[in-house]
Amino acid sequence: MRKSVLMMVVCNFLGWSVLHADVSEMVLYPNSTFSSAVAHFYHQGDKAEKYGFLFDEKFSPKQILYAQPDNYILETLKDKKVKLSFDKTDRYSYMKQIKKEDFIVENNGHSVKLLMSGGDCAGECLTGRNILTVVIPDGYSVIGYKGLDNNLKELTNKEWKITDNTYTLFAPKVKGACIYLELAKGSAPSSKAKELTPKSITPSTLVYSNLELFEIGDINVSIQGKQLLKTLVSRVGSSSKLMVTILQDHVPPKRLATLYPSAEKFSQARAEVMVKELSALGLSSEQIHCEVVDKPSEKARVEISITPVQ
């Protein structure tokens, strides 16, 4: 997923050296209706140096509630991105307010799909230990959870700590990490929640970024995307429905603006290409239901429902 889609808000962690022994922590506190959240980020480096964060152009400096140490710089760059930077420190933190469209994938009133990232370091680097925590509001229970890297691929090396309504992911030596949660109204015991691993998600909701499936800034499926779609079709069973979510860019590329003047039309074109690709791989048109979601309160996405073979 392009970073503004992958994460709550684009948050590239800018270090001035290769990172390997540091620790990054992010804690997300959604409110009871998931209409907003507060996120607290803390970083412990292995030495004092310059660090910073880069947020996308939709991020407002007013969303930063506080930052430590006090001698930080918060500035809006020429490209309208917002940069938060620290000078010569080995540890720092900030708290920011999060809009619902930056961490909620879907909320229909009864179930919620949430995607939260701790950011990722910029350049050729790894963070020694990523720790991500989500505190679930009262009245909701987790029915499925997944640990992902900064490209939304399944983490192979991870640990979980689950205590009541708190889910914590530990991911060592990765560029960045994310938590994906599926929630439902009610207070079912947390022991009923299942980790959504490749073996346990047949069927389930599969989440892809546009960069995983499409050529950059285009509607054409990439070589990698074609292989992923082959794997996807191989998961289509004979008894249950498969749900596919493809997170999209909120703004279509400028070079295609005349063809697709809005993000919705750009996503619609990609949806049509997806139907053609899936049909070419053997699925019938009756099995595929495709819908574009482009609401200000939610992440732009293509939703595909694949019904089993009859």
Interval 187-209: pLDDT, tens: 655 456 778 765 444 445 677 87
Q: Are residues 41 and 84 in the same domain?
A: yes
Three-state secondary structure call for residue 140: strand
CA end-to-end span of the chain: 33
What pLDDT is recorded for position 250? 64
CB atoms inside a 10 Å sphere around CB 309 = 12
pLDDT above 70 for 231: yes
Tens digit of each residue's pLDDT (9 = 90 or more) over 141-152: 999 999 998 888
Tens digit of each residue's pLDDT (9 = 90 or more) over 30-46: 999 999 999 999 988 87
Q: Which amino acid is at 301?
A: R
Of 143, 175, 195, which residue sits at a domain end? 195
Percent of the chain with pLDDT strictly greater than 90: 24
Q: Which of 72-76, 106-110, 225-229 has the lowest mean pLDDT?
A: 106-110
Tens digit of each residue's pLDDT (9 = 90 or more) over 91-115: 889 999 998 888 998 888 788 999 9
- C-alpha span between 257 and 244 (Å, rounded): 26
Q: Are residues 37 and 132 in the same domain?
A: yes
Task: Compute the chain's Rg from CA coordinates.
Answer: 20
Do 308 and 238 touch, CB atoms closer than 8 A? yes
Do 145 and 180 touch, CB atoms closer than 8 A? yes
Three-state secondary structure call for residue 3: helix
Q: Are residues 280 and 212 in the same domain?
A: yes
Max CA distance (Å), the chain:
64
What pLDDT is recorded for position 17? 38
Of 144, 177, 195, which residue sits at a domain end? 195
Q: Are residues 209 and 189 in the same domain?
A: no
- C-alpha span between 297 and 293 (Å, rounded): 10
Q: Are residues 101 and 215 in the same domain?
A: no
The rounded mean pLDDT for the chain is 81
What pLDDT is recorded for position 95? 93
CB atoms inside a 10 Å sphere around CB 203 = 15
List the domain range (segments joined by +) for residue 167. 3-195
Candidates 185, 191, 132; CA nearest to 164 is 191
Q: Are residues 84 and 117 in the same domain?
A: yes
Of 140, 175, 195, which residue sits at a domain end? 195
| Helix intervals (H) in the chain | 3-6, 210-213, 223-234, 263-280
Tens digit of each residue's pLDDT (9 = 90 or more) over 277-299: 999 998 888 889 888 887 776 67
What pLDDT is recorded for position 197? 61
What pLDDT is recorded for position 118? 86
Q: Please state the φ and ψ torsions of residue 283, each to the nearest 5 degrees.
A: -85, 145
Query: Which burial class, exposed, middle or buried, applies to 118 when counting CB atoms under 10 A from its CB (0-12, 13-18, 19+)?
Result: buried
- pTM of the prediction? 0.62
Q: Are residues 189 and 210 in the same domain?
A: no
What pLDDT is recorded for position 8? 38
- C-alpha span between 160 and 157 (Å, rounded): 11
Token pair of 31 as six digits: 């409110």
Q: Are residues 122 and 98 in the same domain?
A: yes
Domain presence at residue 200: no
pLDDT above 50 for 176: yes
Q: Are residues 162 and 242 in the same domain?
A: no
Strand partners, 147: 179
pLDDT above 80 for 236: no
Q: Are residues 219 and 129 in the same domain?
A: no
Q: How many domains in the chain?
A: 2
Domain presence at residue 299: yes
Residue 274 belongs to a domain with what CATH number?
Answer: 3.30.1330.60
Token pair of 176 as six digits: 């960045």
Token pair of 186 as six digits: 């009610």
Residue 170 belongs to a domain with what CATH number?
Answer: 2.60.40
Domain presence at residue 75: yes
